[in-house]
Amino acid sequence: MHNRILDFSEEPAHLSARLSNLVIRRPDKPEVTLPFVDIAVLVSSHPQLTFTQAALAELAAAGAAFVTCDAQRLPVGLMLPLQGHFTQSERIACQVEAKLPVCKRAWQQLVRAKLRSQAAALRLETGSDAGLAAMATRVKSGDPENVEAQGARRYWALIFGDPTFRRDRDAADINRVLNYGYAVLRGMTGRAVCAVGLHPSIGLHHHNRYNQFVLADDVMEPFRPIVDRAAVSIAKTFGAGHELDKHVKAELIAALTGRYRFEGELRSPFDILSRVASSLVAVFQGERAELLLPDFDDFFSDDEETAGR
């Protein structure tokens, strides 16, 4: 599996299925075919993109995520496979029956990892982690003191070198880049969660009756700085208010398909997220006490091969 991210935003296209392959037809261009098993996420953002029901069904059967965008080409919807691991029902039962302390400890580990990840990103971008690594040690089970939010306020004031920056999903600035990158990351995480037989609507911390992917939102938290660092690079290269065009999307996708250090090896985010999701299954089943998460001091690097840029 090559874990490709496909973004259809620049020109009309028609997508169909033939012999386990995605068939891509575009005006005045040769037909292109691609095995469905090679696709991790497909992003639909061009208003004249059409597809057959068979193409969507094959995409889901292969375990891929489908992200659809609005008129501004910002992600607004996510489709994930219903079927995952062959012991899915057993694993979902363990997930549903997981005791509150187990879920709270898992959320504690994710918040600590997120703060360490943000600290590593800040060190690379600014030369200082602004105390976020120390804050990570203060996170208690369930994060009752909301250290995550305290760290976010410090982090966002520094990561773009702009103390006035605020994370605002509706702002017409670099926030649009973050929105797009997070949506693709969410699709990747949802795919990993479903692949190991967990249900994406049963979260550890996030709970929203209108959000069917709360577990993906939980698990992706430590990996958001992958997108943040790409957004910093984009802001420096193109400007914070630059259009969300193919060049910007290409840099985001390059970051999300790059290689990062995990357990002494360079691995793709898809591979890492799958291993994290598998460790969550083991936590639910009582086979391990802690999630398998990266050492974020090593995870990022200025080396282009490691950082995926």
Q: Which pLDDT score is estimated for 83?
A: 66
Which residues sit opposite 51 in a β-bridge? 15
* Averaged pLDDT for residues 80-91: 73
Answer for the pair 129, 123: CB distance below 8 angstroms, yes or no. yes
pLDDT tens column, 43-79: 998 999 999 999 999 999 998 999 998 887 778 888 8
Token duo for residue 103: 């879920």
**Closest to 252 in 3D by CA, of 5, 3, 1, 2:** 5
167 pLDDT tier (thresholds 50, 70, 90): very high
Q: Which pLDDT score is estimated for 213?
A: 86
Rounded Cα distance, 248 and 231, in Å: 9
Answer for the pair 190, 220: CB distance below 8 angstroms, yes or no. no
Rounded Cα distance, 178 and 114, in Å: 16
The CATH 1.20.120.920 portion of the chain extends over 88-307
Is the model's pLDDT at 115 over the cut of 70? yes
Q: Average per-residue pLDDT in the chain? A: 91
Q: Which pLDDT score is estimated for 208?
A: 66
Rounded Cα distance, 145 and 147, in Å: 6
> Token match 């290269």: residue?
237
As a whole-number percent, the residues of the chain with pLDDT over 70 amount to 94
Query: Is CATH 3.100.10.20 the classification given to domain 4-79?
Result: yes
CATH topology of domain 88-307: Four Helix Bundle (Hemerythrin (Met), subunit A) (1.20.120)
Q: Which pLDDT score is estimated for 195?
A: 85
Answer for the pair 197, 247: CB distance below 8 angstroms, yes or no. no
Rounded Cα distance, 118 and 226, in Å: 9
Predicted TM-score of the model (pTM): 0.86
187 pLDDT tier (thresholds 50, 70, 90): very high
Give all strands of the β-sheet with 75-79 in edge-to-edge order: 4-8, 39-44, 65-69, 75-79
Q: In the Cβ-directed half-sphere of 282, how many Cα atoms lie within 13 Å? A: 12
The CATH 3.100.10.20 portion of the chain extends over 4-79
**Closest to 114 in 3D by CA, of 207, 225, 193:** 225
Answer for the pair 249, 180: CB distance below 8 angstroms, yes or no. yes
Rounded Cα distance, 148 and 108, in Å: 10
Rounded Cα distance, 46 and 41, in Å: 16
Q: Which pLDDT score is estimated for 84?
A: 59
Query: Residue 166 is which amino acid?
Result: R
